[in-house]
Amino acid sequence: MLMLLLSSTILLAQDTYIQCGKIIDTKTGKVLTNKTIIVSNKSIKAIQDGFINPINPGR
């Protein structure tokens, strides 16, 4: 049981990387291309240019 709880905590702490070919900026109405949305704890943490690899985010 303890191992299951530790695994759940670790999984919740991970970021999710969503690679988008196109995304709409609702403030400007512009269509942006080739972006990566980084989600952490059910919130958008960042939107970065290009397709970011979650294993090596510096690339």
47-59 residue pLDDT tens:
999 999 887 655 5
Res. 12: pLDDT tops 90: no
Where residue 3 falls among pLDDT bands split at 50, 70, 90?
A: very low
If one counts the domains in the chain, the total is 1
Confirm whether 23 is domain-assigned. yes
Parent domain of 23: 15-54
Residue 47 neighbours by CB distance under 10 Å: 14
Confirm whether 40 is domain-assigned. yes
Confirm whether 45 is domain-assigned. yes
Residue 11 neighbours by CB distance under 10 Å: 8
Confirm whether 41 is domain-assigned. yes
Looking at residue 23, its pLDDT comes to 92
Share of the chain above pLDDT 90, in %: 54
Where residue 32 falls among pLDDT bands split at 50, 70, 90?
A: very high
Confirm whether 36 is domain-assigned. yes
Alpha-carbon torsion 4, 14, 33, 30, what sign?
Answer: positive
Confirm whether 39 is domain-assigned. yes
Res. 36: pLDDT tops 80: yes
Residue 36 neighbours by CB distance under 10 Å: 19
